[in-house]
A and B are shown apart, each in its own frame.
Chain A
Amino acid sequence: MSATHLHIHQALTQAIYTVLNKKVVISGVTYPVYKELPTVPITTYVRIGNIIDSDNGTKDDFVYAGSVNINVVDESHPGQTDKTIAYSVMNKVRSLLKTSRSNVITMTGFTMIHFTPDVSNEIIEEVKKGFAKIQLIDTYRFNIE
Chain B
Amino acid sequence: MAKVNGTVMTIYSGADVIMWTKNCTLNVEQDLPDGTTKDSLGWEEHINGVRRWSIDFDGAFDVSGSGMTPNELIAIIIARTADATVKFGTSAAAATGWTGLATVKNMSISGAMEDVATFSGSLTGNGAITAI
Contacts and interface: CB of A to CB of B under 8 A. Distances in A.
Q: Do A and B come from one complex?
A: yes
Interface of A: 1, 56-61, 63, 65, 113-114, 116, 141, 143
B63 to A, nearest CB: 11
Contact of A58 (B8, B22, B114, B115): B22
A60 B16 CA distance: 13
A114 B115 contact: yes
A137 B59 CA distance: 33
Contacts of B17: 60
Contacts of A65: 116
Contacts, number: 36
Nearest to B67: A60
Interface residues of B, number: 16
A114 B7 CA distance: 25
A60 B20 contact: yes
A120 to B, nearest CB: 16
Interface string B11-40: 000000101111000000000000000000
B116 A56 contact: yes
B114 A63 contact: no
A29 to B, nearest CB: 32
A72 to B, nearest CB: 23
Interface string B95-118: 000000000000000000011100
Contact of A60 (B65, B114, B116): B65
Contacts of A58: 19-22, 59-60
Nearest to A116: B114
